Structure 1
Amino acid sequence: MTRQLPPVVQPTAFPKISSTDVLGRLAALKTAQIAHLKQQWRELYGQEPPPFSRSYITSRLAYRIQELAYGGLKPETRARLEALGEQLDGGNVILRRIRADSRPLPGTRLLREWQGVEHVVTVRLDDFEFEGRPYRSLSAIARHITGTRWNGWTFFGLRAARGGA
């Protein structure tokens, strides 16, 4: 048996948001229930919201509210950004999403103090450099520093630690 999804709201024109309403709407996003946020998504984007976290949805709604009130990017700016993205990843949308969502840009320096010693890792295109040596993962570097197994993204503060205090 196939499950039917609710119909997608397809407004003919997106609502114009008054610039005087922007700050109030942005503030209301912080306390709105997720069902209300999803309804706003449908109204402001004309499609079902993605199955992502609350913080993702609120940040995109905040942008969209401002875009509808003040205007979005100029077409030439969009084209320039698209061209820059293609230079980085050769038009590979999957690679672009991975890089945009999780991996710091090459050249980024990650700093972590451990037992009074500051450790610096440089993000490179396909690996990480620590103490002049290449490492395939941040977890390997964290293990080298601590002598124990760590999630490297958590160790370097790129992902929140799960659980307790």
Structure 2
Amino acid sequence: MLLQYRDDLLFAEPASLHSVRLLRVGLYSKSVTFQGSTSAELRQAWTCLIGTPTPRVSAPILRLAIAFDLQAREAGGLSSASIRRLETLASQGRMSVPVQPGMRLVREWKGALHVVTIDEGGNLNWKARKWHSLSEVARAITGTRWSGPAFFGLVETVRSA
């Protein structure tokens, strides 16, 4: 089956050139179209839709990737914040979890429990005092320079695939 995608039209051309079908389908129907597809059909669909060599992944993962691409085309793709986060993860291999109002960060250091709260204004509070950064709090607790997010366990390490 030969698949071509242009705008919101999905062209499906079976082995017989006599019966060419033109399907005008919404996002849900496009995703369902690939549910019964073989691995070869999915690889061909990837090449037609994405225009790059097919990644070496299983058929279910390739089906999800194709569905994501169709969804991104219809809904506008990832937000700029998501793209920045992914680029940072790809380049650095680690990413700090953003601190949000209402969070409580708890860390034990030398037998003492330290709790930092983030109020609705985004201010950091520790020992009844406002602080400018988690690194300042970590320095006050340990007496040495620390990455505040690392000290409080907010750094995610990304493993290479």
Q: What's the TM-score, normalizing by structure 1?
A: 0.44
Q: Which has the larger radius of gyration?
A: 2
Greater fraction of residues in helix? 1
- Compute the TM-score of the two structures, normalised by the length of structure 2: 0.45
Higher strand share: 2
